[in-house]
Each structure stands twice: as structure tokens, then as C-alpha cells.
A and B are shown apart, each in its own frame.
Chain A
Amino acid sequence: MLTKRIVPCLDIKNGRTVKGVNFVDLRDAGDPVELAKQYAEQGADELVFLDISATLEGRGTTLEMVLRVAEQVNIPFTVGGGISSVEHVDALLQCGADKVSINSSAVKRPELVNELSNKFGSQCVVVAIDAKQVDGQWKVHLAGGSIPTEIDLFEWAKEVEQRGAGEILFTSMNHDGTKNGFANEALSKLSETLNIPIIASGGAGNVQHFIDTFVEGKSDAALAASVFHFGEIPIPELKKELKQNNIEVRL
């Protein structure tokens, strides 16, 4: 049976991990490659690197980082953040990234989804969607959630699926950072509306939240950052508990 995936997310700036990481046994906690290797050993199913570099030079460093990760890590990984052209995606894939995730650039120019899936295949195109529920309506937000739009989450998700997205990474801004659980109602609706995998993001605080998003939220994968980085939820224990709750995971 296809397993549910556990996906740690690392924020990268100028080729280095930025958010504090509290790992023992790490020579350099700012080195994304060291972290990635450690996560792979712990049983993470894949990794997401989110590039938050503001400069062109910073992005160049990220490309080198991708190459080093691909060289040393034997599980799949996705790279996202500021990707807006076919050329940029080509460079990332050439360096060994398995998938790329696009967000605001897809909203600004939806044809980008078609272009990428036609050229590289749907399997490597993840569309990330940040959305916020306002008066019962889920609205897509841009630029890391800072700019609201009138676009409906479910309509947009359907559109990108039709344009060739291979996967949706949905972050609920109402839940992100709260550690109160994932947006399971919206996630389950996405899963029922679409026929591509859905990654849940935003709200992970404890093991039960992961159980809930796989069962109630019908998510295919769950992404989190701080609970993993600070060792609050060790991945081997998380997966063991998921298994005990009859959720199929890779152990």
C-alpha cells in the first residue's frame, strides 16, 4: 500500500538553513546537507527546501546547495521559493532536485504550470497554495501570505490540477505557526475534489495532529518545520505512533 509521507521543511537563505535548529550530533546546524542527511536517516520520506533568499547571489548559492544535497542524500526532495521561469526550473532539476514548487508565480501567470508540466512532466511540478479562511471563504494569498487575492482556494487548486500540477502543497495561514493542528476540513475537501496528492502544511504541534490530518484531512503527506527541527516530535517515534494507529507509513 502507498504510505503516508512525513516531510520536514527547511528554510534556506543564501545556501544556509535559517530557522533555529536544535539537533544534537550536528557539526553545523546551518548546513542544509548535514540536516538533510540526518532527516533521511531518521526516516523522513522526502524533504522540502524553501529558498527565502532575497538576492540573485543568494539564489545562486541555493543552486550549489541543491547539487550538494542531491550528491549526498538518497531520498527525494523538492525545492521552492521564488521560482518563476522554465529556465530556473531546468537549472534546479539539472542540479538534481526531484520536484520544484511554485506559488505566487503560478497565480500571476497560470500558464507556467502548463509549461513546466509539458516540459518536465507533472511528477515534478508541485503547486504550493497559501490560503486564509475569511468569513467562511478560503482565499488564496500571495508573497508568503502577505497579499490577499479574491481567488477561491478550491477553484484555484482545480485549475492547477487541470493545467498539469502533480501535487498540491496547501498551507493554511489560519493554522500555520499555531501548533493547533492542520486545516483538516479544507484538506479533506481538496482531497475529495482533486485526483492528485495533497500535502498538508501549517499547524503541526503534536503526534495526534498528524494522525488527524491523515484520517480526517485525508492528506497524502504532512509537512512541518519547527516540531522536527527542535526535536519536539522525533520522526521515528511519530511514525511508530502512526503505525499503531493503523496509518500506513514506511518504517
Chain B
Amino acid sequence: MSADGMILTAERVTKRFGGLVAVDSVDFTIPPRAIVSLIGPNGAGKTTFFNMIAGLYHPTSGRIVFEGRDITGLPPHRITRSGIGRTFQNIRLFQNMTALENVLVGRHGRMKATPFEAILRTPRERREERETREQAKALLAYVGLAGKEDEFAKNLSYGDQRRLEIGRALGTEPRLLLLDEPTAGMNPQETAQMTTFIRRLRDERGITVLLIEHDMKVVMGISERVTVLDHGTKIAEGPAETVQRDQRVIEAYLGRARTA
């Protein structure tokens, strides 16, 4: 844990794409075991910010510190192995692999067997494979996909694919989980289920969650703190109720009221 007691600290993080400033000098912190949300209208820079934490983009300037370690500019696989898991806004499962195999790939960074051991099928390698399969099955059961281990990802229903993506991310043993619009395209009932599930992740597994949401209503129930981005800058931050009433937030979402 870092000196300020935060699991993640982003300092003045900026990302420029050519002339466009997608994220402009954003300060952001996540306390441990919290569920925090990042919201904002389309094109506000939420996903860009998210991808910088996950290592897909390198910040143009600024610094990101995870558990006291500077992770700015590390490649995605190193960031994942350091304890940050993620899902994608537009589901990116390995479509032609089974549900179990998807979670097994998630376990990749936590496994130790070398290709050489795999060729020789050493007892250690076989034990690791067996144990990992058990863990993966348990994870699938946890996300509600028991009995669907051998289904190909592409044949799963939309809701199940979302669950599988979370299961796969859990396979990486994250302490911080980044969820990019986990309820996108879901009906109200599925959304409610997903919201409950996210809370369970925190309560039962102690995982800190950063949620990106487009939809204000979803985040209100579960997040302790909401950060609002608009045009790449942070325009509001605080408890959901306060943010909801913030004049600038309302303007960002609905536009400025015409004054006479």
C-alpha cells in the first residue's frame, strides 16, 4: 500500500492523441476495498483513462501508482501480473475457446510451468495443470457458469459472456478490478443481478472495483464515490448523491439550461 493509503493513485495523468487531449491532467485515487465509479458522457475520456491504468495506452504525462509501485508505462501483461484485472466494454473473450479455457488463459500469469516441463510432462507441471483446472472450474461456478465449462465462449448468451469475462479477469487474481461498462446492453433485471454481483466481489473477495459507467442510475446504488469526466477533465467527484445534484454534471449530461 502506498503512503497515502490508496490502492491506486493517478497524478495529473494526461493523454494526447495528436492534437486531441483525451484525458487532461486528471488526479484520481482509489481507496482499498472501495467500489468507485468513473462516469461521463460519450467521449469524455473514461475508457482512455481506464486503458492507461491497464497499460494499453501510455500516458503522455503524469504518473500512475499501484500499491506504492509506479506502474506508468508498463506493458499490459506486467500490469495484470502486478494485480490489476480488467474487462472490456465490447466483450473481448477468446470466442473460439471454451469457457474453461478462457479462465485458464486468465490463470496464465499465475502459473509457473515452462514449455520444457510441458514437453516432459513433469509431475510438477501435471499437478499445476490439474490444480489450475480446479481453480478455473471454481471460478466459473462463482460467476454463475457452473456446468458450462465446455461451452465455446461464442455460444454463450450475452449475459453469460459478460460473466465469463469477469471470471477470466478473476483468474488473474486481481486486487483491483477494472470493469468497463459491465451492464451495457443488459435489461433491468440482468443489470440488478450484475450490480449485486459486483458488490459480492468486494465483500467476499476483498477486491477493489473501478467501474466505468455510462448510465448514472447503475452507479448510484453501489459506488462509494463517483468521479465525473467531461471532455477529458474531471468536473466533479464525491458521493453519488452529491455528484448527481452537481450543476456542472447536469450540464455535461443534459446541456446548459438557457438563461433569459
- Verify that A and B bind, or say they do not: no
Interface residues, chain B, with chain A CB atoms under 8 Å away: none
Interface residues, chain A, with chain B CB atoms under 8 Å away: none
